Amino acid sequence: DTEVTQTPKHLVMGMTNKKSLKCEQHMGHRAMYWYKQKAKKPPELMFVYSYEKLSINESVPSRFSPECPNSSLLNLHLHALQPEDSALYLCASRTGTSEYNEQFFGPGTRLTVL
């Protein structure tokens, strides 16, 4: 089973709203990732959680706030976003943090900020 699930599939929010994206995996993976992907661009790394600890924050604006409540769950809290934050937000997981570990993506959340 290589399934990573994400909810919601689509999200439309205003610039003053607060919302959260959710990601879940039950593969026992210990590394989880948030990526942002704009049209015709590769995924852009935002955050990495390794063994439930934040290990990489790629200078992401504070209006994005990650949370890892347990080894299976990853949230991304959104507040006061800008229209340019509209993108596909991808969650991914890996067995571990070794360079040899394969990484699997969830289906993504399509976010539109009005």
Partner 1 sequence: QKEVEQNSGPLSVPEGAIASLNCTYSDRGSQSFFWYRQYSGKSPELIMSIYSNGDKEDGRFTAQLNKASQYVSLLIRDSQPSDSATYLCAVGGNNDMRFGAGTRLTVKP
By the criterion CB under 8 A, which residues form the site for partner 1? 2, 31, 33, 41-43, 45, 48, 50, 55-56, 88, 90, 97-108, 110
- Amino acid found at 3: E
Distance CA 68, CA 76 (A): 9
CB 106 within 8 A of CB 23: yes
Q: How far is the CB of 114 from partner 1 (least distance, A)?
A: 20
Q: How far is the CB of 4 from partner 1 (least distance, A)?
A: 9
Query: Of the two residues 48 and 113, which places its CB atom closer to partner 1 in the complex?
Result: 48
Distance CA 94, CA 29 (A): 5
Query: Of the two residues 50 and 65, which places its CB atom closer to partner 1 in the complex?
Result: 50
- Which of 15, 12, 8 minimizes the C-alpha distance to 83? 15
Query: Of the two residues 71 and 103, which places its CB atom closer to partner 1 in the complex?
Result: 103
